[in-house]
Amino acid sequence: MDRDVVFKGKTEVARTTIQGNIILLCLFAIQISAVYLTMWSQDLLSHFKPSLYGNILFLSLFVVVFVKGISYALMHYSYDDGERGLSRVKSDFLSSWLTVDYMAAFLLPMILLPTFLSLYSSMKSIIHLVQPFYLDEFLMRADRFIHFGVDPWRITHSIFGTAIASVVLNFIYNLWFFIMYSYVLWMIVNVRFGRDRMQFLFAFVIIWPLIGSLIAVGLSSAGPVYYGDVVGDSSIFGPLMEALKQYNGQFKDSPFGIFALNTQDMLWADYLKNDTNIGSGISAMPSMHVAIATLLYLSGRQVSKYIGYGMLVFLILIQIGSVHLGWHYALDGYLSILLTWAIWKFCGWMVDRIYGEEDSSATDNALGNQSDL
């Protein structure tokens, strides 16, 4: 049997595509089983909501088709006049986007993505029910110790301690989901990235349940913004929250502001009601914002050094923003970076087993010279 093509004829499918999809399915099966069994054992199945992000699938497909359509139109009009026409359009799509191998590689992660994110949100909303917050005081003291006796938020506010700087950090922090989801869609679509794409997808589906659920339960903590409510001492982070409210007040009659304050109030209200909604749940350690930003940097630098530089800046600003806005202890982000790096290396080892030690464009897809539109 051909090393690179499992099914031949009109339905060529790369061995790497099949093996990669099997691993993704296994990782997804582990996640959904673990979430269900955890909730079942804790009598919390009312929080099991695998369709929370169901509508995002249709939006994602629309965005992918729209962007690919625009990209192809630009490419098509770059052809010589004699090369344009419906026959060329049909030939291009049948030889690239509409092949069985491409659709097999593209559709599975696209279809699983909404349920995958829904399972994470469902699990995050019950962390405090499985393991009540207990680590906040330790993390505060550890933060202070490793920063030479100074609370890290005081360091960020000494540098970015203005209303404008705080609003900019908040804006960048709020961009996190858009940048993360756009990058994920970009990786799902670009099957031609082969080994680099598969390493990213493996790491992505491991980081959320491992760092964001399992380790988050073991290190259950609420974060600086809720420290006074959880620990009962508002003297440490009370000044931080008052400073943020003061900065926000300077934008009272403008469309800008520190929107994190409203989000934090909403999350606390959901916490008190034990609700499970999109984006609900409180968890500080480790930081998923920093973990995913780290993953984007590690992946982006393999694709392009310029994307890597941009993602490194993004990672640094997310780490700063997470502390500056009261979401996280600095240690939350430091641990996330180390854990994400370890997962990234492990996933690199896994894809080496699939693609071989030498990454070759000839084995990135079943047709060898196939490319995305």
Question: Model confidence over 7-37: pLDDT tens digits?
Answer: 444 456 778 888 999 999 999 999 999 999 9
pLDDT more than 90, % of the chain:
64
What is the C-alpha to C-alpha distance for residues 233 and 254, in angstroms, rounded to an integer? 33
In this predicted structure, what is the pLDDT of residue 192?
85
In this predicted structure, what is the pLDDT of residue 83?
65
17 close to 104: Cβ distance less than 8 angstroms = yes
Is 236 a residue whose pLDDT tops 60? yes
192-210: pLDDT as tens digits:
888 999 999 999 999 999 9
Amino acid at 136: D
216-227: pLDDT as tens digits:
999 999 999 999
Give φ, ψ of 309 to 5 degrees. -60, -45
13 close to 104: Cβ distance less than 8 angstroms = yes
In this predicted structure, what is the pLDDT of residue 286?
95
Is 372 a residue whose pLDDT tops 60? no
What is the C-alpha to C-alpha distance for residues 297 and 47, in angstroms, rounded to an integer? 33
CA separation, residue 80 to residues 75, 84, 85, 87 (Å): 11, 7, 11, 14
44-100: pLDDT as tens digits:
999 999 888 888 878 888 887 777 777 767 766 667 666 666 776 666 666 666 778
Reported as half-sphere exposure (CB side, CA atoms, 13 A), residue 301 has a value of 13
- pLDDT band (50, 70, 90) for residue 251: confident
Q: What does the block give as tokens for 134?
A: 């207990």
What are the residue ranges of helices labelled H in the chain?
A: 15-41, 56-76, 86-95, 100-124, 127-130, 136-146, 152-159, 163-174, 176-189, 195-209, 216-218, 227-231, 238-249, 260-273, 288-303, 305-324, 330-355
